[in-house]
Amino acid sequence: MERPVKSIHGEWTSRWAFILAATGSAVGLGNIWKFPYITGENGGGAFVIVYLACIAIIGIPLMMSEILIGRRGRQNPINTLATIAKEENRSPHWRWLGAMGVLTGFLILSYYSVIAGQAMAYVPRAFAGVFEGVTADGAISIHKAIVSDPERLLAWHTLFMLMTMAVVVRGVQKGLEKSVRIIMPLLFIILLMLVAYGFNTGAPFHQSVDFLFATDFSKLTHTGVLTAMGHAFFTLSLGMGAIMVYGSYLPQKTSILKVSVTIALMDTTVALLAGLAIFPLVFANGLEPGAGPSLIFETLPIAFGHMAGGQWFGGFFFMLLVFAAWSSGISLVEPIVVWLVEIRDITRLRATVYAGSIIWLLGLLTIFSFNIGMTWTLFGMTMFELLDYLTANIMLPLGGLLIAIFAGWTMKRSSTVDELGMGDGWLYSVWRTLARYITPFAIVIIFANLIGVLN
């Protein structure tokens, strides 16, 4: 198997195009919907510190590893890993790591799309002024009315899948490169305005800052630590080959270190801003920070319902949230589509239809878990909770562990020096030490802690 010099699917037009596309993948529901609610569920500050540490120590080196593997293999994750393994005289079984990534993409998008659908349902409501003057109870019942109706959820889920497929069919460069350039700055501005609103709610702003940053480790459980690590993978889109595939379109000259740090910083900033926008509303309205997945759908409408121009503000906010989810959704399908195109030799259109239909169908599990299937549980979790736990807390960290081992141990030093293109100095040594020892060690310890091996 020869290693292609360019991906058959194309190349980003510039380093910034890649940064924006990868940031588009990273910034999504994970930052604005998931980060605040899991922080709330896990007691705040200590959880945030573990999450930030995981981004720095595990996330950045792993992002570099994924990009370097992707750019070296320039194919779908399965073939990329098989080709590089062959080149390095290693086992062809590494392809299974790619296969797990493709499977993870199916599972994540199946529930991601349903949540993005809920955000979409909020767009017309916000613009129509439904949230005007809304109380906490009112906001809760508006959200309940949406999630308790499977048909409504299905309609929005279908629309989100169709939107995602429509872009993937065209190839990522055309649609995506352009859209993220507009979406990301706008999202940033609206978030800042929401933070300013939170600051002025009258609720002690420092209560939210304390909640987010005061470290009380007694509140953090073993599962909380695992969730923090899992979220670091989820939010940076790591551990399943999405960034690997985006890396396969990266021009040869681009510095992998610089782009990785930039993406991680932008992603983290958005998550923290989302926290600073949401928690003041939670505390000012006597809501429960541990409310779970419904948190932002039940807090933000209160802010929009009481601020001047909130109707427009809210409408645009949910619209941008949908766009952010959209650019992430695209990156979840891309590895699957690229894989189907390459192994089945079918058109991009056909591959997108196959992948999209299966994901759409799988989405029913999540839809039902909010209403008629609320009681269908396994290991004490609803189908949605199970999919989320399995993918974010198990499959992504496991995939990340193996990717770090692949880049740090399976690939020769000379190959990684060559691909990273930052010489063989101390900076390279830092990356290599992190990839070889620290990242795998941290992931294994957190897993071991969870199953009680260390107690």
Of the two residues 136 and 359, which places its CB atom closer to ligand PFF in the complex? 359
Q: How far is C-alpha 20 from the geometric centre of its chain's CA atoms?
A: 14
Distance of alpha carbon 403 from alpha carbon 401, whole angstroms? 6
Of the two residues 99 and 374, which places its CB atom closer to ligand PFF in the complex? 99
Q: How far is the CB of 262 from ligand PFF (least distance, A)?
A: 15
Distance of alpha carbon 83 from alpha carbon 99, whole angstroms? 14
Q: How far is the CB of 339 from ligand PFF (least distance, A)?
A: 14
- Kindly give, in sequence order, each residue whose CB lies less than 8 Å from that of residue 375, ignoring residues fewer than 6 positions away: none
CB-CB neighbours of 357 under 10 Å:
12
Q: How far is the CB of 313 from ligand PFF (least distance, A)?
A: 22
Closest Cα to residue 88, out of 69, 105, 74, 106?
A: 69
Of the two residues 76 and 285, which places its CB atom closer to ligand PFF in the complex? 76
Q: How far is the CB of 242 from ligand PFF (least distance, A)?
A: 3
What residue ranges bind ligand PFF (CB under 6 A)?
25-26, 28-31, 108, 234-235, 237, 240, 242, 328, 331-332
Q: Say whether 285 sits in a helix, a strand or coil.
A: coil
Of the two residues 111 and 197, which places its CB atom closer to ligand PFF in the complex? 111
Of the two residues 322 and 442, which places its CB atom closer to ligand PFF in the complex? 322
Q: How far is the CB of 49 from ligand PFF (least distance, A)?
A: 19
Q: Which token pair is 209?
A: 């800052």
Provide the terminal-to-terminal Cα distance of the chain, rounded to the nearest Å. 47
Q: How far is the CB of 108 from ligand PFF (least distance, A)?
A: 6
Q: Are 366 and 116 in contact (CB under 8 A)?
A: no
Q: Which token pair is 166?
A: 């429509």
Half-sphere exposure of 120 (CA within 13 A, CB side): 22
> If you ran DSSP here, which 8-state letter would residue 57 be given?
I
Closest Cα to residue 314, out of 194, 415, 211, 210?
A: 194
Of the two residues 41 and 285, which places its CB atom closer to ligand PFF in the complex? 41
Residue 435 parent element (H or E): none
Of the two residues 30 and 98, which places its CB atom closer to ligand PFF in the complex? 30
Q: Which token pair is 370?
A: 């909010």
Q: How far is the CB of 256 from ligand PFF (least distance, A)?
A: 18
Q: How far is the CB of 268 from ligand PFF (least distance, A)?
A: 11
Of the two residues 66 and 142, which places its CB atom closer to ligand PFF in the complex? 66
> If you ran DSSP here, which 8-state letter would residue 3 be given?
P
Cα dihedral 398, 399, 405, 410 sign: positive
